[in-house]
Structure formats: structure tokens, C-alpha cells
Structure 1
Amino acid sequence: MSLSDVRNFGLGRWIMTAAGLSALLLAAGCQVKPLYATNSDTAAALASIDFSEADDRVELEVRNNLVFMAGRGAGEPVNPEYDVDFNVATRYIGVLLDLDTDLPRAGRVEVRADFTLTRHGTGEILKTGKRRAVALVDYPNQEFAKIRATRDAENRAARELAELMRADIASWLGR
């Protein structure tokens, strides 16, 4: 082995060691968490949220779903630490018009919510957000069936909206 071979071997070993250490340092800064996992602190914080009162039926559906999901079925908290004030707006969009009657045969129910998470005692605003959910609906010929289909679509959109809001609030509280 010549002198240049020994020097190159030592330099290559040093470069490989430095690269390995830098890779370890980069990996040490990473955190791996499941996307939908909630630790006990986040679950306790979610269970201590008081949600605002509802003004209409769809908003009540959103509120009931939020209370159930946040409290894991335990109901509303006795001593809330956080408040969530939200307003829900519902929009009905007719699509797929029947050319003979000019009535929609299918539609979309869009439910939007603006919400604010505040600390219960101080009223300090912690997070604000906007979410929306869309449910598709087919309109049958019978009037009662049309009303029922619309209500079912409202319920589906309200449940999806509540899930989105809960995930958004949980991600903030889990920090």
C-alpha cells in the first residue's frame, strides 16, 4: 500500500463518519407521530370545551356532533377551560336541471362554519378558523322524499363539518 492509498483511505473514512453523524443529527430533529393520534392532554383539553348554543337545526346538528366527539360521548363539561363560538350557514345549490320541468334532479348542500377558540376565563382568542363541508343529494319526484333527502344531506354535511372542526381544534390544542 502506498502513502497516497493510506491518505485517501483515512480521508474517505473521515467523510463517511461525518456524513453518518450529520444524518443522525438530522434524524434526531424529526418527530414521528400518527396523524390522528391524540395524547391524553389533548383528549382532556378537547373534553373541556364549551360550544356555543345553536340558532337553527343544522347548527344544532354540528354542535351535537362536536359535543359528542370532543367529550367522547361524555357530554358537556362541568368546568370548561375553553369556549368555541361558531356560526353555521347552509347553502342549497341545484344542479342537473331537468329540461322539461326546469327543476333540479340533484343538488349540493354546502355547510360552512366560522369558529373561534377562546380561553374560558380570560376570553383570549387562541384560534380562529373557517371550514366547509358539502353533501350531494338526489331529488326524487315525491315531495316528502325530497324533504327527507335534503335533511339527510344536511345531517351528513353537519357531521363532516364537525369532524373537520374537531380535527382543526385538536391539532391546535395538541401543540
Structure 2
Amino acid sequence: MSTYYGRSSKDLQPRSSRKTLSESPPSSPSPTAKTFRHDRVTRTLDSSSDKVLGRSSSYTRRETRLTARNRQENEDHDLGGKDYRKMYEEALQENGQLKVRLQDSKHELVKIRSQLDKVTQRQDRMSERSSSHEAEKREKLSLEKKVSDMEEDLKVLTDLRSENQRLKDENGALIRVISKLSNQTPQ
């Protein structure tokens, strides 16, 4: 594991793609390479002193971002090899299917509610009919009672008529008897 000057091994993860100074080939360094190494060492030392003073250079911020990104990539690969993009696409597909099922369920619910309303209206009509049937039955019973009362009154009336006719006949007979008797009386 390699470390940079002024940094602990906790802050930086090792980079497998970058070669350390000890891994570089044993050729003589070019003047630009020497300058580059020297600049990097001085920048690292300067950044350490800047951190002590509460300042950080853009170089250290960039390095921090890169190490954080590498750390995140390593964590992503270390999490059991899960492909989050694939999982995301599967979740999107499942959400789409669930949305379609939800819409179907909503349409079915609307149909069922309309059917329930129709059945309720039918039952209301049936109950109205049954209540009107009951009212009709009561009215029919009362009418039947009136008819039977009228039939009895009619029987009484016919009896009264027949009795009245009999009385008229008796009255006529009495009138004839009286008139015969009055005609027979001496004058």
C-alpha cells in the first residue's frame, strides 16, 4: 500500500492503476520528471501546511474527490456485484406494471360501483313496489270490507223493499176492506 506525503493511509485508497515511485523502471529520470516529482512533493507538503492553517488547495480538493470516487467505485463493486442500474430498470419496469394494474383496478372499481348503484336503485324500486303492493293490499282489504258491508246493506235493502211491498199490499187490502165496510153501512 502506498501513501502520499503528509497523508495517512485512511484518507487515501491505493490506486492499482497508478505506479508508485518504487515501481517505476530504473531509468534515469528526465528533468521534467524530476521537476514533476519535486512539484508534487512540494504541493503535498504545502497542502499539509495549508490544512494546518485551515486552507486547502485545489489540488488536494481534486485528490480528495478522486479518492472518494475511487472509494465509491470500490464499494459499489464490493457490494456483492449488484448491478444497480439493472435493479433500477427492473424497479422501473415493475412500477410501470403496478401502475397499469392500479389503473385496471380503478376502472374495475368504477364498474363495480356503477353496478352496485344499479342494484341499489332496483332494490329501492322493489321496496317502493312492495310498499305500494302492501298499500294496495290494505286498500283492497278495505274495499272488500266495504263491498261486504254494501252487500249486507243491499240484502237489508231488498228485505226492506220486500217488506215495504208486503205492507203496501196489506195497506191496499185494508183500504178495500174499509171501503167495502163503509159502503155497506146503512146510510
Give your verdict on TM over 0.5. no
Scaled by the length of structure 2, the TM-score of the pair is 0.23
**Which structure has the bigger radius of gyration?**
2
What TM-score does the superposition give when structure 1 sets the normalisation length? Answer: 0.24
